[in-house]
Structures are given as C-alpha cells and as structure tokens.
Amino acid sequence: MAAHLVRLNKYLSEAGYCSRRKADKLIEAGRVTINDQIPEMGTKVSSNDVVKVDDTVISNEKEKFVYLAFHKPIGIVCTTDTRVEKDNIIDYINYPKRIFPIGRLDKPSEGLILLTDDGDIVNKILRASNHHEKEYVVTVDKPISQTFIKRMSKGIYLKELQQKTRPCKVEIIDDTTFKIILTQGLNRQIRRMVAFLDYEVQSLKRIRIMNIQLDLPVGSYRELTENEFTTLQQLLSDSAKTHKPHS
C-alpha cells in the first residue's frame, strides 16, 4: 500500500513543531531536509521519509492512547494518588505508561473499570448528562420483594446527596440477587438506594460499561478491541448529539 503523502509544511505543523507559516519560512531558509536533501517549497513527504530541522529528526507519528478494561478486585481503591493509598489501582496494575481510571468503583465493590491516558474520552464518558449505561449485579442480605424492585426502578430521593436517582432498569436474578442498569454515577449510589429500603449490600459487581462487557478473571486487564473502541466512540458521539444541553 502506498504511503500517505502530505505537504512538508503540514507535516511539520501536524508534528506539533511549528505553524505552517513558520514551516514555510524554515523551508525557505534551507533549514529543513528530507532524507538529508534540501527540498523545494511544496514538496510532499510520507512517513517513510526522514524529515529534519537543523539536523533534529521530526516525527509526526502520533503516540497511540491506551484503553484498558480491568476487573477490579475488592479492596483496591480507584485513585491515582499512590502516596496516600497503598492498595491503589495504579500500583496494582503496574502498567508501563501513566494511565488513570475512568470514574470510580468503591473499595468493597468489584468489577469492570476502564483506564486510559486519553483525557478527552474520560470527560465524554463521565459527563452525567450523556446518560451512559452501567450494569451491576448486586446481592443483598434478605429476600427481595416486588416493592423493592419497583421503588429502585422509579428512583429514590437520597437525602444525603439531596437528589433523586434517575429511573433505572432493575431485574430479579434470584431471592437475594438483582441486576441494575444505571445511567448516572452518584457517590455509592446503589449502596445508598439499597440502604434507604432497609436492605444491605452483601456483594456488588459491575459487569458492563456502555458496550464493554466484563469478561476477565479478577485482577486482570486487557486492551479494548478495535470493534469495542469503534462502538464506544459511536455511542459517545450519538449521546453527545441526543443529550445536547439547551442553549
């Protein structure tokens, strides 16, 4: 496959070296070389060419962002402050590049959490107005009633947070276990909702974030597949359009 060609001034600006106008001046001054040859204005280059400014190689290869799915064990804290919290997610994963978790999953909970070094996608996923789905399996301390399911589904006013939870999907799995799909991420939301109805959470596991399913053993991580990432981008783009704030 033929290498993609771009004009030299565009190459230098895309590499973050300087503006196109400044690049034109550098080329004109003979300070830029392609494969050790001084080029003419308007020359095109590909990723196979070696571009230098004053003998310094300029690469416009963008470093790829990292997108990980991780099955967080109970007892690990979703913080990047490794000095304060010894059982933190960053030290646990020990990834060779600086990454951070997207959102949180509290210490006594386990399940899916995404990590990345792409700040832009973090903001898009965490924006509460976008109504992104997160799915959990929860076990409580006594048999679940239909009233419990109905009240959880309709939303509960949490006095300590001074807000009512959004209506959500709740489904009984067995006597003491239910599945819940939230479209918001209030602090310890499920535990607070359950406590309001005089139940107590025994175990809480997040099994899905948007289109990403939990399919990993506890404590392990993997990169998102190309298909997962493409779908994720599409969902983010769609929700941004659907839930655009009114101006």
Query: What per-residue confidence (pLDDT) applies to 241?
Result: 74
The CATH number that domain 6-57 falls under is 3.10.290.10
Residues in the chain where the model's pLDDT stays below 70: 1-3, 61-63, 128-129, 243-247
Predicted pLDDT at 246: 46
Domain ranges of the chain: 6-57, 67-223
CATH pick for 67-223 out of 3.30.2350.10, 3.90.1200.10, 3.20.20.140, 3.30.310.80 = 3.30.2350.10
Residue from 26, 13, 15, 3 nearest 58 by CA: 15
Report the percentage of the chain scoring pLDDT > 90: 68
CB atoms under 10 Å from CB of 24, counted, come to 18
Residue 57 structure tokens: 């190689």
Enter the pTM of the model: 0.74
Pair 212, 224: CB distance under 8 Å:
yes
pLDDT tens-digit series, residues 70-93: 999 999 999 888 888 889 999 999
Task: Enumerate the β-bridge partners of residue 72.
Answer: 111
Distance, in Å, from the CA atom of 28 to the CA atom of 25, rounded to the nearest integer, reads 5
Residues involved in catalysis: 106
Average pLDDT, the chain: 90
**Upper half-sphere CA count for residue 231 (Cβ side, 13 Å):** 10
CA separation for the pair 154, 193 (Å, rounded): 11
- What is the per-residue pLDDT for 247? 38
How do beta strands 44-45 and 56-57 pair?
unpaired
Q: Return the beta strands (E) in the chain as ranges.
A: 6-7, 32-34, 44-45, 51-53, 56-57, 67-72, 100-101, 110-116, 134-140, 157-158, 163-164, 169-174, 177-182, 201-209, 212-213, 221-223
